Amino acid sequence: MTKKTDPRTAEPDAELDICDVVCPMTFVKAKVALDDLEVGQILAIRLNDGEPTENVPRSLKEDGHRVLKLTDNRDGTYRLLVKKAPDYF
């Protein structure tokens, strides 16, 4: 298992913007970006308010990843921090 991460101080290892795509490409792009990371690394995702903020974190959790934080950018977008889980199948 990987060590605990404090969501307040977590620094992302990679950034991804999925504001230009809609479901299911939002989740697909997030999966691909996580696939390129090492287990335990953190991905920061910029996503639109509404359907993406509801579904993307949930789908990533279902895949076993750890959603650390979702913060409102106050411009209609959110910033999601997610930590890559060990091999999830």
Stretch that binds other proteins, among 10-18, 22-30, 46-54, 71-79 (CB under 8 A): 22-30
Structure token pair of residue 88: 């999830």
Distance from C-alpha of 77 to C-alpha of 30, rounded to nearest angstrom: 16
Contact status: 72 vs other proteins (CB under 8 A): no
27 binds other proteins (CB under 8 A): yes
Phi, psi of 39 (to 5 degrees): -55, 135
User: Is residue 86 part of the contact set for other proteins (CB under 8 A)?
Assistant: no
Contacting residue, 32, 39, 73, 76, with other proteins by CB under 8 A: 32
